[in-house]
Amino acid sequence: MKKISTLLLLFIFQFSFSQENRIQQLKNNIEAISADAPGLTEKVNINIKEASLSSFLLAVSEVHKVNISVAPELGQINIVNNFTDVTVGDLLVFLCKEHSLSIDFTGNILSVKSYEKPMKMPVEKLIDVTYDASDNLLSLDLKEDKLYDVFKKIMDVSGKNLVFAPGLEKQMLTIYIKNMPFDAALNKLAYANNLSTSKSRDNFYVFDQLEGIYSPENNADKSITNVRQFKPLRSRKSNFFFTVVDADKKILNVDFENTPISSIIYDIGHDLDIDMFISSPLESIGNATVKAKNISFDALLNKLFETKMEGALLSNNSSPAQFNSSTNYSVASTGDTYTYMKNDEIYYFGTKNQLVVRNIKSIPLMHRSIELLSDPLKEGRSAGRLNNNNSYSNYNTNLSEPKNGSNNQFQSNSSVASSTTSESILSIIPDEIKKDLDIKIDKELNGFLVNGPAANIARFESFIKFIDKAVPVILIEVMLLEVNKSAIVETGISAGIGNKPVTTSGAVFPSVDINLGAQTINKIINGFGGFGSLNVGSVVPNFYLSLKAMESNGNLKIRSSPRLSTLNGHKAYLSIGETTYYVVTNQNFYGSQIPQASEVKNYQPIDAELSLTIMPLVSGDGQITMDIKVIQSSFNGQKVDANAPPGINSREFTSIIRVKDQDIIVLGGLEESVKDDSGSGVPILARIPVIKWLFSSRRREDSKKKLTVLIKPTVIY
């Protein structure tokens, strides 16, 4: 405020000073010609009421013989004055001062006319622009400064090139910016003065009138408006910044806030020199806010149109997509939703129901089946349990024995696990991915035939490529290790009297197990010739003597290694077994007077098997979760009755485990250890060392049985 007051005082002082100089100069000139025009020194006494200035001057000129020329415009000035004893020269000076008149002197001729201020030479206004090259900071202090002068100053101090559209060179700019980054300062300069700015690929800052409000100057060439390309109106609340990182790959850094999508497409498309075909105006799409780095132009378009599509779908009251069948899918369409299609580097923009942006494409699956395969069929072995659906029957009447022949029939009705109908992989794809698409399944080519908007097809194809990965195959090795170790020692002598005479028999080598009869024993006694004076005599005929000295060792190893492969997430079944049959006989009697018997023999099967059922699941870190069931059964050769089913030894393991690829783990096992040390003999003598072997019978047994089930999975891609 103090500065403004000082400037105002200086202006008033300068004006007053210049006015005094002019009047003094007139007075000096009049005094200089007074000798040639003595009338200028004569006295004037006059009283005037509402007379024109020109008439008054002419009257003075006539009375005092002064050559005065009066300009015509002075006739418009009326004066009311009373002069007494005033010289003509002072009168003229007063009138010039009072009515801003001037006098041109030509000899003794005075030409009186209105005073015209001399033309001042225009003083060039300084444009306040400063630039800090080290930090790339720009400061601006502009007030009604011409755009041309401002841009010239900015280019001079920064060394950077600015270009403006024709007709903008005289536009006045006003803004105040202090130490802002160069690009941000230029953007705010454009924003504050209804301009738009963009940076070209050759590093020029291009300024244009804000879209939709351009009007050329009155003296400008009106034909410019016919050749200029207008862009859509951009919201004044938007921030619109983007940088082309790689023009060939169409990589961008973008920062949009509340920016019309049409502006994004036009501006970026112009900078990337993209060929576009627009079948519907883009101005009604709406606005978007995006901030991203190193994003491709195609990805940016996908996100923009996905956002607007979601907004349109939310406002649409149509019912959700319904699929007619497993191979024919169609989705309710929002016909006026905008989308785009890219074909041969040309971008087509329009609504979804316009053929220009629709497409038909075949999308094959490269690594997996188009059908979600069901688990394989499983034949139902009984694993030691009776299967009453199978029978081998003979039927005969009149109590006759069964005969082989045409009457024998084999009926096999194996229980088979029913398999569910396989379904398409399309059933696991989210409905959002399938919207507005008509999808057919081509099983022969293992692919899809898709019809619909190109953008939706591209999204569907991208999702298919994302899930089209090789399904791992898991090879399962199940190792069943069975080890039996045994050591048995049997020694002793036993004697007694049996119910009947015993015949000498037995083995001598490699183990001793002999039963001596009475006759053999008497021969041995008689062969001794007695024991001196002791006569033993003969044993009775039923007397026997048993000698046993036997040692046996056993080491049995059984290894079974079934292998089974299956796809990830699918069950696999392996069965290796043996089936035998037993007889079930049914007798029925018919008639009351003369009963007749009917006999039916059914041969029922019974199984012993080694079966393996697995379902593996491979996780993302390579670990394998498996649901495993192992059954091992075998016939033991024992029966509770001659017609009873054979005996079965069965082992069953069921577990859910997790293991790393190619690791071996123990699924389960059974260890049995038996120790037996028993004997019988003559009291006291059976406990005396050495002698006890002659007066006792002893048995020592040490056995160990071990069964282990090992699992080793291997993932194969």
Residues 237-245 have a mean pLDDT of 74
Q: Lowest-pLDDT range, 110-114, 118-122, 455-459, 673-677?
A: 118-122
Output the six-digit token pair for 166. Answer: 């024709």
Q: Lowest-pLDDT range, 61-75, 81-95, 214-228, 681-695?
A: 214-228
Contact residues for 316 (Cβ-Cβ < 8 A; gap 6+): 334
- Assess if residue 225 is contained within a domain: no
**DSSP labels for 410-435?**
EE----B---PPPEEGGGGS-TTTTT
Contact by Cβ (8 Å): 114, 100: yes
Give the SS3 label for residue 648.
Answer: strand
Q: How far is CA 394 from CA 398, 406, 580, 600, 603, in A?
A: 14, 10, 17, 6, 9
Domain C-terminal end among 114, 141, 166:
114
Note down the domain range covering 276: 241-308+337-351
Q: How far is CA 321 from CA 326, 412, 439, 696, in A?
A: 14, 49, 13, 93
211 against 147, higher pLDDT: 147
Relative to beta strand 67-70, strand 109-114 is parallel
One domain, residues 680 and 627: yes
Output the six-digit token pair for 66. Answer: 């002064």
One domain, residues 435 and 515: no
One domain, residues 75 and 140: no
**Using N-to-C axis directions, what is the helix angle for 2-32 and 88-99, rounded to 10°?**
150
CATH number at residue 441: 3.30.1370.120
Give the SS3 label for residue 465.
Answer: helix
Tell me the β-bridge partners of 340: 349
Note the pLDDT of residue 173: 92
Residues 570-585 have a mean pLDDT of 84
Note the pLDDT of residue 394: 42
553 against 335, higher pLDDT: 553
**How many Cα atoms sit within 13 Å of 677 on the Cβ side?**
1
Note the pLDDT of residue 112: 84
CA angle (354 as vertex; 348, 356 as ends), nearest 5: 35
Cα separation, 489 vs 566, in Å, equals: 50
| Core vs surface per residue 152-187: b (16+ CB within 10 A) or e | ebbeebbebebebeebbeebebebebeebebbebbb
- Assess if residue 475 is contained within a domain: no
Residues 527-551 have a mean pLDDT of 61
Note the pLDDT of residue 153: 92
pLDDT band of residue 151 (cuts 50, 70, 90) is very high
Note the pLDDT of residue 416: 37
CATH number at residue 108: 3.55.50.30
- Assess if residue 641 is contained within a domain: yes
| Amino acid found at 308 | K
- Assess if residue 512 is contained within a domain: yes
Long-range contacts of 689-694 (CB under 8 A, 24+ apart): 693/491, 693/492, 693/493, 694/493
640 CB-contact burial (10 Å; exposed 0-12 / middle 13-18 / buried 19+): exposed
Q: How far is CA 309 from CA 320, 336, 431, in A?
A: 14, 10, 14
One domain, residues 592 and 673: yes
One domain, residues 695 and 676: yes
Q: How far is CA 47 from CA 44, 50, 89, 503, 538, in A?
A: 10, 10, 17, 195, 206
Contact residues for 391 (Cβ-Cβ < 8 A; gap 6+): 411, 602, 603, 604
Residue identified by tokens 């201020």 is 117
- CB neighbours of residue 253 within 10 Å: 14
One domain, residues 566 and 707: yes
DSSP at 154: H
- Assess if residue 48 is contained within a domain: yes
One domain, residues 369 and 495: no
pLDDT band of residue 154 (cuts 50, 70, 90) is very high
120 against 303, higher pLDDT: 303
Contact residues for 128 (Cβ-Cβ < 8 A; gap 6+): 139, 140, 141, 142
pLDDT at 218 exceeding the cut of 70: no
pLDDT at 272 exceeding the cut of 80: yes
pLDDT at 1 exceeding the cut of 60: no
In this prediction, what percent of the chain has a pLDDT beyond 90?
A: 7
Output the six-digit token pair for 637. Answer: 């050769």
pLDDT at 243 exceeding the cut of 80: yes
Cα separation, 640 vs 387, in Å, equals: 19
Q: Lowest-pLDDT range, 316-325, 330-339, 695-704?
A: 316-325
- CB neighbours of residue 313 within 10 Å: 16
Tell me the β-bridge partners of 439: 329, 450
Give the SS3 label for residue 533.
Answer: coil
Cα separation, 581 vs 643, in Å, equals: 10
CA angle (666 as vertex; 664, 668 as ends), nearest 5: 155
Mean pLDDT over the full length of the chain: 75
Note the pLDDT of residue 255: 86
430 CB-contact burial (10 Å; exposed 0-12 / middle 13-18 / buried 19+): exposed
Output the six-digit token pair for 347. Answer: 């971008």
Note the pLDDT of residue 65: 83
Cα separation, 256 vs 188, in Å, equals: 15
Contact residues for 291 (Cβ-Cβ < 8 A; gap 6+): 254, 255, 256
pLDDT at 596 exceeding the cut of 90: no
Q: Lowest-pLDDT range, 15-19, 67-71, 109-113, 296-300?
A: 15-19
For residue range 18-31, what is the model confidence (pLDDT) as tens digits?
557 778 888 888 88
- Assess if residue 704 is contained within a domain: yes
Domain C-terminal end among 507, 532, 552:
552
One domain, residues 432 and 524: no
- Assess if residue 663 is contained within a domain: yes
Domain C-terminal end among 114, 145, 172:
114
Note the pLDDT of residue 591: 73
Mean pLDDT is highest, among 31-35, 213-217, 293-297, 429-433, for: 293-297
Ramachandran category for residue 615: left, alpha or beta (phi over 0 → left; psi -120 to 50 → alpha): beta
**How many Cα atoms sit within 13 Å of 419 on the Cβ side?**
13
Output the six-digit token pair for 241. Answer: 């910044």
**DSSP labels for 390-407?**
-EEEEEEETTPPP--STT
pLDDT band of residue 191 (cuts 50, 70, 90) is confident
In this prediction, what percent of the chain has a pLDDT beyond 70?
A: 72
Give the SS3 label for residue 376.
Answer: coil
Rounded to the nearest 5 percent, the helix, strand and coil shares of the chain are 20, 45, 35
Q: How many domains does the chain have?
A: 6
- Assess if residue 384 is contained within a domain: no
Relative to beta strand 696-716, strand 128-132 is unpaired
Relative to beta strand 205-209, strand 328-330 is unpaired
One domain, residues 199 and 341: no
pLDDT band of residue 404 (cuts 50, 70, 90) is very low
One domain, residues 42 and 146: no
One domain, residues 15 and 75: yes
Output the six-digit token pair for 103. Answer: 């006098």
Output the six-digit token pair for 179. Answer: 């130490």
Q: Lowest-pLDDT range, 330-334, 385-389, 390-394?
A: 330-334
One domain, residues 589 and 667: yes
Nearest CA to 349 among 281, 421, 297?
281
pLDDT band of residue 178 (cuts 50, 70, 90) is very high
For residue range 612-654, what is the model confidence (pLDDT) as tens digits?
888 899 988 888 898 888 887 888 878 877 778 888 888 787 8
Mean pLDDT is highest, among 167-181, 229-243, 485-499, 540-554, for: 167-181
697 against 158, higher pLDDT: 158
Cα separation, 663 vs 626, in Å, equals: 13
